[in-house]
Amino acid sequence: MKNKIITIDGPSGTGKSTVAKEVAKKLGFCYLDTGALYRGAALAIDLKGSNIDDDSRCREILSSTTIKLIKDKIFVNGKDVSSEIRSPRISNLASRIAVHSSVREYLVEIQRSSSLSCSVVAEGRDTGSVVFPNADVKIYLDASLNERARRRHKELISKGINIGFDQVLEEIQERDHRDKTRGVAPLVVSENAIVVNTTQMSIKEVISRVLKIIKDNLAFASWDDGILE
């Protein structure tokens, strides 16, 4: 049977990662965290002390870099950097290198290859519009700016990162602008994507809603209704 592809896109703070990971687990699919790949690439470039805004230099560094996503771990040149890439700084750098066509071309090939061995739930900002334009089901998660900033601030504080809410709000606004206005693969609601506004929803409710959308749009040989619980 042909591998299935489900994409979940949206801006920061909508719960994409948590939702995609849990949906993949319930369906028995592979989980593809495209954001982790961009963070890994940003870390590799940053470790070289190079100008993150220099497209040609980024291309040069990545041409000799190996980035692998194995389950929920990201490896750069064989080293597990899963914790290092989760800092606000690397997150910001990842957004900046995402405007480079060379970086996107390098990472898109890695992302697409993941669907060759298993069905996937891919989450990111262009998985439905660019990486998998012919995905079986496309979902776009959204939420109000304040709610997304609140969630992100809470997440960072829980990880011991001392940062003010206003700073988080400003960083998300900047990230939104950069993602939506970049010339290459901007953040958009892709064709045929189903939009879910998560502002007033708990993570459990969002997961249930997404699974219901998948059930309604994807024919499984057998579907256990308990999967929605």
Cα–Cα distances in angstroms (integers) from residue 121 to residues 21, 54, 61, 221, in the given order: 8, 32, 29, 18
The pLDDT-based confidence of 31 (bands split at 50, 70, 90) is: very high
| 217, part of any domain | no
Domain that holds residue 49: 5-211
| 64, part of any domain | yes
CB 204 within 8 A of CB 142: no
| 228, part of any domain | no
Three-state secondary structure string covering the chain:
CCCCEEEEECCCCCCHHHHHHHHHHHHCCEEEEHHHHHHHHHHHHHHCCCCCCCHHHHHHHHHCCCEEEECCEEEECCEECCCHHHCHHHHHHHHHHCCCHHHHHHHHHHHHHHHHCCCEEEEECCHHHHHCCCCCEEEEEECCHHHHHHHHHHHHHHCCCCCCHHHHHHHHHHHHHHHHHCCCCCCCCCCCCEEEECCCCCHHHHHHHHHHHHHHHCCCCCCCHHHHC
| 82, part of any domain | yes
The pLDDT-based confidence of 72 (bands split at 50, 70, 90) is: confident
| 225, part of any domain | no
What pLDDT does residue 161 have?
87
Q: What percentage of the chain exceeds 90 in pLDDT?
A: 72
Residue type, 107: L
Q: What percentage of the chain exceeds 70 in pLDDT?
A: 95
Query: What pLDDT, in 10s, does the model give residues 108-142?
Result: 999 999 888 899 999 999 999 999 999 999 999 99
Residue 223: both structure tokens together:
């579907």
Residue 133: both structure tokens together:
């334009």
| 229, part of any domain | no
Query: Going by DSSP bridges, is the β-strand pair 79-80/120-124 parallel, antiparallel, or unpaired?
Result: unpaired
Query: What pLDDT, in 10s, does the model give residues 80-104?
Result: 999 999 888 898 899 899 889 889 9
Domain tally, the chain: 1
- In this predicted structure, the answer to whether residue 229 has a pLDDT above a threshold of 70 is no
What pLDDT does residue 159 have?
85
| 53, part of any domain | yes
Query: What pLDDT, in 10s, does the model give residues 168-220?
Result: 999 999 989 989 998 888 999 999 999 999 999 999 999 999 999 999 998 75
Cβ neighbourhood burial of 117 (10 Å; 0-12, 13-18, 19+):
exposed
The residues pairing with 229 across neighbouring beta strands, listed in sequence order, are none
| 111, part of any domain | yes
CATH of the domain at 115: 3.40.50.300
Phi, psi torsion values for 9, nearest 5 degrees: -110, 170
The pLDDT-based confidence of 228 (bands split at 50, 70, 90) is: low
Three-state secondary structure string covering 39-102:
HHHHHHHHHCCCCCCCHHHHHHHHHCCCEEEECCEEEECCEECCCHHHCHHHHHHHHHHCCCHH
What pLDDT does residue 211 have?
96
The residues pairing with 139 across neighbouring beta strands, listed in sequence order, are 8, 194
Query: What pLDDT, in 10s, does the model give residues 138-180?
Result: 999 999 999 999 999 998 899 888 999 999 999 999 989 989 9
What pLDDT does residue 177 have?
93
What pLDDT does residue 95 have?
86
